[in-house]
Structure 1
Amino acid sequence: MYIAITKQHHGENFKGSVKDFVNYLLKENEGKTPEEQDHFFDQNNDQISVEDVISEIDNNTSKLSKKDPKFYSVVVSPSQRELLAINNDPGKLRQYVRELMKDYAASFYRDKNISVDDIKYYAKIERERTFKGGDKEIRENQPYATKILKLKNDIGKIEEGKSIGNIKRIQKEIDRLEKDAPHKINGKRIVRDMKKPGMQNHVHIIVSHKDKTNSFKLSPLSQHKEAETILNGEKQKQGFNRDKFYRAAEKTFDTTFGYKRNFVETYKARNLLDKNPKDFFILLAGLPTTEKQAAFKMLYKLGVHVPNIPTNKAQLAYKAFMKLKRGVETAINSGSIGV
């Protein structure tokens, strides 16, 4: 499960409306009948109008300064294996989001217990993802793309009479490069903004910075996990424990749907890979045989070759280790086994 939390950006301040972001999330509804469209939902309602989403978020901003975001974006991206476990069912994904938002509320550190009833949020399922510049497929296709673009420019100059050359020969070289590019879908070279194959359901959640009563701030990007400050001479608790939230989000999915999570899919694995990668590989090597085989199989499917990993740190050459670490890190953060 991969979850990303970001704040609203409008240049150097946050005074803009949520309208632009809402309209962006409507892109997949274009050309569909109302019955085919995915609608915004919250904790209790499956279908909320666009106008209500915009109005509710924009008007829930009492005493926020221009330096305060009006809302946060939470993107919930289940892996291919997780989507398979719920049969890619949008209804089950909505069910999960509603349980997840209970975990979100419980991760705030406040004098009063924060519940999901305090959170103003609106979520929408998206069915598609597209390839971006950072994707492995785009990066590894890029040398071919660069050469193809240059050759096409050469053809353009010849056609305009600005250069001399053999267009047929250049086109033949373009065709060869297209064929040799390592990553293709249905015979076509993968390029930016091309739709990704397979199950791609994910959820965008718009969460108001203020609670439902428009009385106090709730920031999931607080720099504190659990802190106490003095305000008007009184101690006040503040903070949001993102580690707690991510762990709970994973556990909630597993418990709700009976999902058997492999080590390399866990939040613990990603943290360990970031902070102590050698221990990550030692733990990976020490897994029970069946689980280890499953972990290696997942990584292999994503193009990451995992050799017999030595348990003695001194046995692992630094360059080889870092190359393997980067490969596994890319795999874990991909849309396939993201945690």
Structure 2
Amino acid sequence: MCLYLGKTSIVTEVNRINYRLRSTFFYRKLREYNTLSLRAKIEALLPIQNLYDWDNKLDWGIGEDAFNYVNQHPNLQFIQVFCHPRLIREQPQLIAYYRNVAVLSQKAVISLIGIQVKRFESDEENKFQLAEDNALELAKLFNEHISLIIDSSVNSITEEELYGLILASTGTQIDGSWRNAIGEEAEKLVQRLLIKEAKEQSLIAAFIPRKATVVDMYNPNNSEEQIENIEKYRGLMLNNQTSILFSSEPDISLLDNGGKTVGVIEVKGGTDTAGALERYGAAIKSFEEARRRNSEVRTILVASCITTEVNTRIQNDRIVSCYFNLTEILSDNSEQYKQFVEEVFSIL
């Protein structure tokens, strides 16, 4: 068995891996939510803003003082600030814009008025129809909060501050999602490390989509976009006629040129010490299944927050071929990173 253990304390290890994974998670989610496009979508509608009537503004939760402030502001337009119920029926995806201006999370909307908005916000093709009563409820909720924000600013809110609220709200939502996503983010990060190394070794031939049988051929001019959208793919084909597949149990499978599994990788990014033994047990279960199918398969565990008990089990358990400290392999120049990629690609 080749065993590579970090020397940092458990507490330090927990903090290091938490913050590293959190950074990449925030960036990935910001792209996923497409928050930066919301401003442009609203600005594209400004030439036709006169087609929206605001006579019923009070019925839509818009405060009189807030409305008058925006009306007199040289750089703010009504549809930039307030939610018109007809507009979100026409363009339901813009619910995300007004919800974030109101600094409300998707969970908060469900809690306050019982409406699930996630499917509308992520519906780029506007397939789902927003009901009239739901549009009115959403508009009232958003406008009440937006009016309160304007009033609390003592009529001084600016256009830039308005868009700052969108980013602040998005950050809050991402932070809420982060608590349940550390394991998934660790998997994504290791996947990207392997793809990056395969790219540097000029091994990538094609990406295998999750929802189609036609592969996406590797394009050096578009490689960054392909790697950033790794969630679209279930693996990659290498030009030496082997493959790397992403799934679950195991998280990553290494296939030889005949389709035989010759290596499996389990990634355990959880950092709570109480669950360390349980995470280790789940990895062992996956490795045992792989060994049942191929007794010579290489089993690689990538984990953080290894307690003394788990460390002892790893040293005495022949089911684990190699263990790598997750925090240590995140650095390109670290010895563990070099050992990790050397181990993986020697199998392939």
> Greater helix percent: which structure?
2
Under a length normalisation based on structure 1, what TM-score does the superposition of the two structures give? Answer: 0.29
Under a length normalisation based on structure 2, what TM-score does the superposition of the two structures give? Answer: 0.28
Which entry has the higher C-alpha Rg, 1 or 2? 2
